[in-house]
Structure formats: structure tokens, C-alpha cells
Structure 1
Amino acid sequence: MVASNKKSIIEFAVQGEIVPAIPLRNYWVTWDGKPKMAIGVGGINYNLKIGEKVFGWANGDRAEPGVSTDGTGKDAWILGYRLYSCIGNEARVLSGEGKGEKGIVIGKHGLRAFQQRGAHHVQLHFEEEVLDVLAIGDKIQVKACGVGLHIMGYEDVRLLSLSPNLLDKMGVYEEDEKLVVPVVKEIPNFLISQGAGERPSEQGNWSIQTCFPPDIKKYGLNELRFGDILLLKDVQSDYGRGQYKNGVTIGVVCCGPSDIAGKGIGATNILSTRSGRIKGTIDSEANIANYLGL
């Protein structure tokens, strides 16, 4: 386990609410010219869970596992909920039949396709019996903890939307003055599409395009599960997302594939470097569900 400044990280409350399932459009036109009514974004997804395979869901398009939430009220309040919530943070239901029940943050997913302000969902996992009593509009409070987290001796590595709790369980270690991170797959740069230019990096995600079927099998994208940890090559997410030779971003799979040209599997960035001081080691069990006991 690497040493971090976790004892100096402030933990504080941010509040949002469960958002409804949202039609991205009436119909999308897929990369090969077919109409598709896409589902899976927003709402309470009962059988789309962390640890499940990302492919194979009928009409799913960038489908989000678990419960989708967002901030409410003033723009600054909304932004605070999106930026400060970190993967691994505890979430608690404040209203409705599920009041008092606890869950955990499992990802962040951003879209701009249908609303003026876009949608940048903070995704939560709850146990199955809790899902049955949740409702759209239920208030959620997250114990935000992770902003300012860094690994000692690696000031050139940015940690983003990552709780100290999850970092400690990921099995990250040092080798030859680099951080070694267990990952399920390493993703070549040419597959990484949507996400460049977006900032700040603490909200939204990178996309791994899934509109060329031969690449899906060749690079093992069909084997991915929600919550898998990936290494994205030649991109950086330090203070905004962009292409960067020898840059490395570590991401968590937060949404499923897409049939829309240039779009695909989402990865919430949690570590980033422009210096190349991160490398991966392949581990098929590198999934946050395993680390967080979900």
C-alpha cells in the first residue's frame, strides 16, 4: 500500500437527489444507420449493477449501473455535488421510504445530449432490498472525502474523484519510481474518443468507442464489467481531459457501450499523469466491487 495524505483530507456533506430515467432523444441513429430508442441513463436501475458485464443489455446505450443522482438547486450547489463526490464515499438517503439507508458512490458519468446544462450523474450502489424502497426525487447526502488526496512522492500524479478508502484497497505499489496499478485492460489511444476538452476532470468521464465490432473482440471490450479498472494510454486528465503522448489515465468503467458513432463505454478518471509515472499490471479481479465488498 502506498503512503498518502489521507489523514489531512477534509470530509464534508454534499447533497443531491435521485434523478429520473432520461430519454437521450426519441431515437438515435446508430453508427450503421439504424434507429434506436436508447435506455439506461438515469433513474433507479434494478438489475444493472456494479460487477455485471457491460454488453448484452437490450436497447442499452451508455447505460448506468445502480442509482443515478445529481445535485439540485443553484448551479454552484449542483457543481459542488458533482465535483466533490468521490468513488468509495458513503451515501445516505435523507427522505422517502428508504430514509436512513446507506449506499456508496461507484462512478460519475457525464452527457450533454439533451439538456442545456447537460447531465453529470453521480452513481450510487445500494443493496437490492434498498432499491425496492427508493423513489425518484429522494434526497441523498454524500460524505465527500477525497479532494486534495495525493500519494507521497508522486506530486506529478493527480488523484481525482477517488476516496482514500478505495485507494488503500486497490493494491497500488511502487516499482522503479513508478506507481503500479492493477487493471483489467489497457486501452489503446485510438479507441478513446469522447471526453477530450471537458473540464474540470472531477466530473464526467472518458469514452471508449464501441462502433467498430472487430475492435470490441480484439481488445476484449466485450469482457468488461461495470466497475472494472482500466489504463487509458496517451491521455491525461490532470486539469481537464486531453490527448497527451505518454500520458496515462486510470479509469473506472461507469457506463455501458453505445451504438452511436464515436461514443461508447464510459470510464471515470481516478488517477492521471503527464509524466508517465503510472503503469499497469493486468489483474482480471481489478474491479471496485471486489475492493469495496459490493
Structure 2
Amino acid sequence: MIKTNKDKLVIQSVQGQISSPATSNNPYRIDQEGLAHILPATGGICYNVKVGDSCMKWVGDHIEPGVSIKNDNTPDNKALMLLACIGNEAQVITGNAKGAKGFVTGMHGGVDHTLIYFGDEDLENMAIGDTILVKAYGQGLAIEGYEDIKCMNIDPRLFEKLNIKENSKGILEVPVVTEIPAYLMGSGVGGATAFSGDYDIMTGDKNANEKFGINKLRFGDLVLLKDCDNTNGRQYLEGSISIGVIVHSDCIKSGHGPGVTVIMSCKTSKIKGVIDEEANIGNYLGIL
């Protein structure tokens, strides 16, 4: 079993409130063909959109599964986005659902929402504005003997459940549902850091969606991004490998699609994907 520095990592509180869906005086969203649509999008509580569901079937744009939280204080929200990690424990601390526990499922850049899973009964007791505290734990995670692999955005306890193995060539084998080529990565490329937020798999090419299994993607799926360097900012680098989690749905806008929050990246091919249809955080966390 690979060893990490998990015992040296800090567990620290961050929090936000359930964020309302919002719109402007112009409510239309423009699709890849230039057509205007009025659709549900980011924010709020999504009662019927969950980890393990298809991220491609919804009549909506950038749909976020479960509960979307944000802190109205911008520096505090930046800390929430930066420090919260997928798999972290989250707890409702105000409102009728006070005491309910869930876990972080991703961070959505741009709108700057942190996404949280809760069970159905708890969702029914929640309201916009309820405060949710996250026990942030994971940033700074490192694998012993693999200092060139950057880990980020994942709770060490979830990381250990991914069944990552070291092969005879010293390469880490990580379960993933599919591999995505760099030329399909769109919105978010060039971001200053991959330690916050996500970036999108472009879905404007129907043949590519079929060829690379994008049509089958689910919220929570692990994917491998080929020739994608996320060790610092997001860029193309031949031979680099990144592993990420699908955090939000497909989108109608050009250059957008399912969002990926990266959890591992290496500038060289020290990471290898092993195709596993069950490689989904919902399975590792016992909710599917």
C-alpha cells in the first residue's frame, strides 16, 4: 500500500451558506449553435441530481448535484474553495437540518461554489441560507517516494480507498472510467492553480463524446486527463497525466461541458489509468 503524509496534515474549519440560484436581467443562455435558452443552472439544492447519476442527461446548464454553498465574504469563500477537499465531512450548523452530515463532492470554479452531498431526508429539511461547516483536510497531501506527483483537493481517507497500486515499473495505477485527450479540455485551461475549482471537458463534438465515453460519465466518476499538467496551473504538456473527479453536469455553452476537479497530477507519466466502470467516489464512500 502506498504511504502518504496524512498524519501531518491540518484539519481546519471552513464554512458557507446554501447559495440561491441567481440570474440577471438577461435570463438567456446561449448554446453552441447561438440559440437562446432559459434553463436551470448553478446553485441551490438539487433534490433529484446526485452523485452516481449521469452528468449528461439533464435539461440544464452546469447543474451541480446536491447542495451548493458559498460564503458571501469573498476572501472567506476563496479559502473555502481552496481548502475544502472531495470527501471532507460537512455538517449543517443552522436551520431545521442542523446536525445533518454529508461530504464534499467538488469545487466549481467561476461561480465559486463548493458542492456537498447529503441524504434525501436531510435535503428536505434544508433551506437556502443554511450554514454548512466543512472540516477541510487534504491540501498538502503527498505520496512517499513520489514527490513529483502533486496531490490536491482530496481527503486522505478517501484517497486511501481509491485502491491505487504501484506496479513493477514504479508507476501508480489509478482506477478511472475513461481517458480524455488534452484537446477536449476547455473552459478553465490557463487557470493559475488547480488547487481550487475545476475545468471542463468540451462536448461540442458528438463523435468524440461517443469515442471517449463522455456520454456515459456520471457525477463522481474518476477520469484520466492525458497530456494535461495540473501540478500548478492548468496547461497542455505532452506526457503529463492528471486524475480528476466529475463535479458538475454538461453545459450548452461552447467550450464547456462536465467539470473536472483534479486530485492528482504529474508532469511525467508516473500515473497510469486502469479502466474500471465502478471508479466513482460514491462507491468508495459507500452511498451507491
Task: Check whether TM > 0.5.
Answer: yes
Q: Per-residue CA shift, 1:219-255, capped at 9, x if unaligned?
A: 2111111000000011111111111111111010001
Partner of residue 142, structure 2: 150
Shift of 1:214: 2.0
Task: Report the aligned-residue RMSD.
Answer: 1.2
The answer to whether residue 124 in structure 2 is matched with residue 125 in structure 1 is no
Q: Aligned ranges for residues 27-46 of structure 1 at < 5 Å?
A: 27-46=28-47
The answer to whether residue 257 in structure 2 is matched with residue 293 in structure 1 is no
- Secondary structure of residue in 2 paired with 1:182: strand
Q: Aligned ranges for residues 140-219 of structure 1 at < 5 Å?
A: 140-175=132-167, 176-219=169-212
- Secondary structure of residue in 1 paired with 2:109: strand
- Secondary structure of residue in 2 paired with 1:165: helix
- Secondary structure of residue in 2 paired with 1:130: helix
Structure 2 residue identity aligned to 1:90: E
Partner of residue 56, structure 1: 57
Contact kept, 8 Å, 1:93 with 1:138, in 2: the verdict is yes
CA–CA distance in 2 between the matches of 1:27 and 1:212? 23
Partner of residue 255, structure 1: 248
Shift of 1:72: 3.2
Contact kept, 8 Å, 1:55 with 1:256, in 2: the verdict is yes
Alignment gaps of 5+ in structure 2: none
Contact kept, 8 Å, 1:71 with 1:82, in 2: the verdict is no
Shift of 1:56: 1.7
Q: Structure 1 runs of 4+ off > 2 angstroms?
A: 22-25
CA–CA distance in 1 between the matches of 2:177 and 2:22? 30
TM-score, L = length of structure 1: 0.94
CA–CA distance in 2 between the matches of 1:124 and 1:3? 28
Contact kept, 8 Å, 1:158 with 1:271, in 2: the verdict is yes
Shift of 1:125: 0.2
Q: Aligned ranges for residues 206-245 of structure 1 at < 5 Å?
A: 206-245=199-238
Q: Per-residue CA shift, 1:43-85, capped at 9, x if unaligned?
A: 1000000000112212x11111110112232x32121111000
Partner of residue 69, structure 1: 69
Q: Per-residue CA shift, 1:76-119, capped at 9, x if unaligned?
A: 212111100000100011101111111100111112xxxxxxx2
The answer to whether residue 109 in structure 2 is matched with residue 101 in structure 1 is no
Structure 2 residue identity aligned to 1:170: L
Shift of 1:270: 0.5
CA–CA distance in 1 between the matches of 2:113 and 2:280? 20
Contact kept, 8 Å, 1:211 with 1:258, in 2: the verdict is no
**More divergent stretch after superposition (254-263 vs 42-51):** 254-263
CA–CA distance in 1 between the matches of 2:93 and 2:4? 32
- Secondary structure of residue in 1 paired with 2:121: helix
**More divergent stretch after superposition (13-22 vs 178-187):** 13-22
CA–CA distance in 2 between the matches of 1:240 and 1:189? 14
Partner of residue 91, structure 2: 92
Alignment gaps of 5+ in structure 1: 112-118
**More divergent stretch after superposition (216-225 vs 84-93):** 216-225
Contact kept, 8 Å, 2:109 with 2:199, in 1: the verdict is no
CA–CA distance in 2 between the matches of 1:78 and 1:260? 26
Residue 259 (structure 2) aligned to one of 252, 261, 266: 266
